[in-house]
Amino acid sequence: MNPYDPQRPSPPESFAGRARLIAQTQEYLERGRVQQFSAAVLVHGHRGSGKTSALRKIESLTEAAKGDTLAVEIPLHQTSSDADLLRSIVQELHSAVRRRKEDRGRWRTALERLQSVNVSVLGTGVGVERSATDTSSNPLTLWRECLEALEGMATIAICIDDAERLNAAGVGTLKTIAESRSPVPVLLAVAAGPEMVRRLATHEFSPVARAFSGATFDMEAFSLTETREALEAALRPSHATGTWSDGAVRRIHDLSHGYPYLVKCLAHAAYRDETRLTEHDVERAVPLALETAAPWLERELSTASDGDIRAFVRIARSERDSLRSSEIIELGINSVYIGRLVKLGVLKKVAPGHYELHKAPVIAYYHELKRRLGGDGRAPRSRGLGTDAGAGS
């Protein structure tokens, strides 16, 4: 059995790296239990960086913590308002409590309290129906009542994925969830793309950003140590018998630039049970790794020139999502390529001479690897490009 699945988030038992995120989560859970402390965590990064895996690790840590805890995941599939968000949260809490109602009397009592409110119309503008009366409440009132129904729980973790899909009112509600007085501690965990970070940096949303102060985590590239941890962590739950040599780990890290999705693709392609995997095993597996990644990444930038890819790689390696044209040129990129990258959708011009990165760095690294744009004519071995990004294809 191959323990590496690039098409699925890493399960909590094989989640690796991100030590600061795990330590912060555990601290918040303990403070919630002891001090009735609510908190918020933001994980951000481009697609394929492991944000959903991180949320599910937080859910797992919550459910394993002391006391009666509850964790729910809210994936946002479309633009969502404050009422849409709160409706989804309340419905997921209701479902989670229903699944636990046989465990203890407390859960049965919580379920009875939650069932006293019909949330089916929340977010529709119709109002909230009560089973006992015909009065209505606004979404925030209902949210508070649901928390009151769960009073006595140790902590509730509310994990919101793809939060960049929240509209302005929805983003504002994140602060309310994280900071309002509550009879039960709430750990709000939010995963979003870089656009969410840029949004929170504006004056309008600075109060929301403060809710995540000290608990904002960039989920981009693994360090070499984290790459090794990720490779080894996946082996334990499946009792796999293969091992990775130091050279194999370094080669996977170099080829992937530490980007989690490509780490998985390379590991999946190279892995064999009962084998001490070497650098040469990884090198031979590159074509299969590219084939595994192709359904997502092949169509991205398929019309780009080699020069476009080299320029994109240099921007990706700068680890910056917002750059001025002068800063792009300082990376060794010919100014002609700025306009080309805008047309390709890699960059978005947000003001004269000011650009934002809009495509995930993993796309650049995939095409660099596929086109063998390393300096030795093979897949790139080091952080250096080996050729000038301003050169044509």
Do the strands 129-130 and 117-118 form a parallel or antiparallel pair, or are they unpaired? antiparallel
Percentages of the chain per state (helix, strand, coil), in multiples of 5: 50, 15, 40
pLDDT at 384 over 60: no
pLDDT in tens, 168-192: 999 999 998 988 778 899 999 999 9
Assign 137 a pLDDT band (cuts: 50, 70, 90): low
DSSP SS3 for 74: strand
Residue indicated by tokens 């095409």:
367
Q: Please write down the long-range contacts of 320-323, taking CB distance under 8 Å and 24 or more positions apart.
A: 320/357, 321/194, 321/197, 321/198, 321/356, 321/357, 322/198, 322/354, 322/355, 322/356, 322/357, 323/354, 323/355, 323/356, 323/357
pLDDT in tens, 62-90: 999 988 899 999 999 999 999 899 889 98
Q: State the average pLDDT over residues 256-267.
A: 96
Which CATH number does 300-393 carry?
1.10.10
pLDDT computed for residue 101 by the predictor: 63
pLDDT at 380 over 80: no
Q: Please state the separation of Cα 280 from the chain's center in Å.
A: 32
pLDDT computed for residue 118 by the predictor: 57
Q: State the average pLDDT over residues 155-162.
A: 96
Superfamily of domain 18-218: P-loop containing nucleotide triphosphate hydrolases (3.40.50.300)
pTM: predicted TM-score of the whole model, two decimal places: 0.87
pLDDT in tens, 5-15: 999 999 999 99
Q: Which amino acid is at 33?
A: R
Who contacts 31 (Cβ-Cβ below 8 Å, separation ≥6)? 37, 39, 185
Q: Which amino acid is at 157?
A: A
pLDDT in tens, 296-353: 999 999 999 999 999 999 999 999 999 999 999 999 999 999 999 999 999 999 999 9
Q: Please write down the long-range contacts of 97-100, taking CB distance under 8 Å and 24 or more positions apart.
A: 97/70, 97/150, 100/70
Who contacts 35 (Cβ-Cβ below 8 Å, separation ≥6)? none
pLDDT computed for residue 119 by the predictor: 58
pLDDT computed for residue 34 by the predictor: 87
Secondary structure letter of residue 87 according to DSSP:
H
Which tokens go with 184? Answer: 């039960």
Which tokens go with 297? Answer: 């990444």
DSSP SS3 for 253: helix
pLDDT computed for residue 125 by the predictor: 39
Rounded Cα distance, 243 and 370, in Å: 26
pLDDT at 104 over 80: no
pLDDT computed for residue 103 by the predictor: 63
DSSP SS3 for 112: helix
Burial zone of 195 (CB within 10 Å; 0-12 exposed, 13-18 middle, 19+ buried): middle
Question: What is the average pLDDT value for the chain, to the nearest integer?
Answer: 87
pLDDT in tens, 114-133: 777 655 544 433 333 444 44
pLDDT at 40 over 70: yes
pLDDT computed for residue 391 by the predictor: 34
